[in-house]
Amino acid sequence: MKSITRQKPFNEIEQQLEDLDRIFIVGCGTCATMTRTGGREEVLEMKNRLQGLGKMVTGWIVIPTACDEMTEVAFRENNGAIQDANSILVMACALGVHRVSLYIGKPVIPALDTLFIGIEDSPGDFHEVCAQCGQCVLGETAGICPITACHKGLLNGPCGGTNNGKCEVDKEKDCAWTLIYQRLKEQGRLDLMRKYRPPKNFQVVPRPKVARIV
């Protein structure tokens, strides 16, 4: 599982930092390193670009896992450079941005956009596998998620847009329901395509989502 991120357009980062000239940069050693959006290399490149804009970079760090509680410890160790800064630029997913915001009273600016939770197919290629809908139907759909893999999130079979196994929105993308059909057929479980699935409960855990798992 990885949090898949993409760097924001540089002019958006620049805009967010408009009145902030002393910056501490935070990268992440887990997902953002694997997606090459917030690892050591990207952090150093960002440092150079910000310096090129005439900003002062008071320091930088790549936290092993920016979203966990060790972040607090890492911050204590870098207290001096953080004190010197008037803003923190976070090159981690939004979970990391949240974590950092918990400990610091200064503006925390995201440098990345968090796209989805996904897995890596081959180096650099990621795809979403689960939208955390709270009511998993994978057991009936041969392990292919109709919520995330079908563009429309359909529960009762393919739409009329399916085209030779591809999806109406993109000739490069597989139609999830054609895949589900093929796999169920292989498994001799096509009857599951005939099973009616009622409208989904979109409020399994209402927003803001919290859960206590005991």
* 130 touches ligand SF4 by CB under 6 A: yes
**Binding range to ligand SF4, per CB under 6 A, among 3-11, 84-92, 171-179, 191-199:** 171-179
Write down the least CB distance from residue 208 to other proteins, Å.
19
DSSP 133-188: -SS--GGGTTT--TTTSSTT--SSS--TT-BTTEETTEEEEEPHHHHHHHHHHHTT
Q: Does 181 bind other proteins (CB under 8 A)?
A: yes
Residues between 184 and 213 that touch other proteins (CB under 8 A)? 185, 190, 193-194, 196, 198-200, 202
Residue 192's binding partner out of other proteins, ligand SF4, none, with CB under 5 to 8 Å set by partner kind? none
Joined together, the tokens standing for residue 30 give 């887990």
Q: In this chain, which stretch among 6-14, 15-23, 86-94, 144-152 interacts with ligand SF4, using CB under 6 A?
A: 144-152
By the rule CB under 6 A, 159 interacts with ligand SF4: yes
List the x/- string, 79-118, binding to ligand SF4 by CB under 6 A: ----------------------------------------
Per-residue tokens: 97: 């941005």
Per-residue CA distances from 70 to 27, 76, 96 (Å) = 14, 10, 11
Residues 6 or more apart in contact with residue 196 via CB below 8 angstroms: 156
Sign of CA dihedral 67, 59, 62, 128: positive
- The set of residues, in sequence order, having a beta carbon less than 8 Å from that of 51 and lying 6+ positions away, is 57
Verify binding: residue 177, other proteins, rule CB under 8 A: yes
Closest CA relative to residue 144, chosen from 186, 180, 170: 180
Residue 151 found at the interface with ligand SF4 (CB under 6 A): yes
- Alpha-carbon distance 126 to 2, whole Å? 9
Nearer to ligand SF4, 113 or 174 (CB): 174
Q: Is 2 in the site for ligand SF4 (CB under 6 A)?
A: no
Distance of alpha carbon 22 from alpha carbon 137, whole angstroms: 49
Binding site for ligand SF4 (CB under 6 A): 130-133, 136-138, 145, 147-148, 150-152, 154, 158-159, 161-162, 167-168, 175-177
Where along the sequence are the contacts to other proteins (CB under 8 A)? 151-165, 168-169, 177-178, 181, 185, 190, 193-194, 196, 198-200, 202
